[in-house]
Structure 1
Amino acid sequence: MDITTLALLLMIPLLMWRIYARVKQMLARQQSLIWRHWMSAVFFPLFLAWMALTMADNILAVSCLGAGALAGAWAGHFSLQGTRFEWYGPRVYFTPNMRIALVVFLLFAGRIVYRGVEIYLGNHMSAQELMSQKDFVQSPGTVLPLGLMLGYCAAYSIGMIRWRKAHPADTGPELT
């Protein structure tokens, strides 16, 4: 085993731990800003539709993207039920359900790390030919976690918009 391959194998757990720590930090308590929710509610479905249109010739990829998006939307709805909300005067804060969000984001990050390892090993071992960029992007192993993440983010943002409209910030109890 080459020393660089050994170093890569030692770095992968550290990289995944860093991704985990960063995602966990992103999912901490945060202020609910309606413009952010709207931006996510518009951007993620548009990106999902664009991805589906670019893969229109590959039925399996579009099907996996759609299945991932549906599963992600279900997970987003389920995660919204476990979200904690807090009012501080006119400001609303929320803490997302950490477990569901971590699973969704780490599945996608794991796929990207897997691709990086595949490229590295393909360059150093030349045992097999690498997947082309198009094949990688349209492979079920990539579009399923991508659809899951996009569906989750879109559904969660839409749910947050609906929740904010049903619970205006100035009617919440004052916490001290």
Structure 2
Amino acid sequence: MSITTAALILLVPVLVWRIYQRLKTQMMRQRSIMSRHYTGLLVFGAMVLVPLAELADRPLSLAALALGAIAGIGLGTYGLRRTRFEDTPEGYFFTPPMRMGILVAMLLVARVIYLGIEIYMNQGSSRPNPRFSDSEATMFCVGLTGAYFCTFSASLMRWRQRLRKAVDNA
């Protein structure tokens, strides 16, 4: 075993732990800021739509992406019912369901780490490195994560717009 392999074996759990800790802080009570909701909608929407151009000739991968997106929309809708919304004098706040958001995000992180390890293991061999869109499992994870957070962002935007209408009508 080379020193690089040993370092990777030690560093991957640390990397996973740091990502988990970062996600945990992002899944707590947050101020609702419209520009963040727009950004989330655009970034996570693009995360689902951009692979479509490459997957047009691979129906199985396209189906996995679509299935992941459908599951993500369903989980996002369910997660919104479990989200706590607050309208306080300090501003608008929301608290998403922590475990669900972390689970969805860590699923994609685990898949990316797996691909990184696969690329590392292919070094020096004649096998080609896998592309991100080669695996149906990866496309499912991308669709799930992108659609979950896109649904969440769109719904938060709708919530804020309903609040604005209520204030305007009062």
In which range does the TM-score fall when normalised by the shorter chain? 0.7 to 0.9
What CA distance in whole angstroms lies between the structure 2 residues aligned with 1:169 and 1:129? 58
Gapped regions of structure 2 (runs ≥ 5):
none
Query: 1:174 maps to which residue?
Result: none
Amino acid at match of 1:61: S
What CA distance in whole angstroms lies between the structure 2 residues aligned with 1:147 and 1:40? 15
What's the offset of the Cα at 1:28? 2.1
Query: 2:150 maps to which residue?
Result: 154
Question: Could you tell me the percent identity over the aligned residues?
Answer: 35
What's the offset of the Cα at 1:44? 2.8
Amino acid at match of 1:5: T
Q: Which stretch shows the higher mean deviation, 157-166 or 98-107?
A: 157-166
8 A contact 2:31–2:94 mirrored in 1: yes
Amino acid at match of 1:161: M
Q: Does 1:80 align with 2:76?
A: no
* TM-score under structure 1 length normalisation: 0.84
* SS state at 2:87 partner: strand
8 A contact 1:118–1:130 mirrored in 2: no
Gapped regions of structure 1 (runs ≥ 5):
172-176
* SS state at 2:50 partner: helix
Q: Does 1:117 align with 2:113?
A: no
What's the offset of the Cα at 1:65? 0.5
Amino acid at match of 2:19: I
* TM-score under structure 2 length normalisation: 0.86
Amino acid at match of 1:113: I
8 A contact 2:104–2:144 mirrored in 1: yes
Q: Which stretch shows the higher mean deviation, 75-84 or 42-51?
A: 42-51
Query: 1:49 maps to which residue?
Result: 49
Amino acid at match of 2:53: L
What's the offset of the Cα at 1:168? 4.1
* Equivalent runs, 1:6-45 vs 2, <5 Å: 6-45=6-45
What CA distance in whole angstroms lies between the structure 1 residues aligned with 2:44 and 2:149? 7
Q: Does 1:137 align with 2:133?
A: yes
8 A contact 2:45–2:147 mirrored in 1: yes
Which digits, 9 at most, give the CA deviation of each residue in 1:32-61, with x for residues without a partner? 112322332344334422321221001011
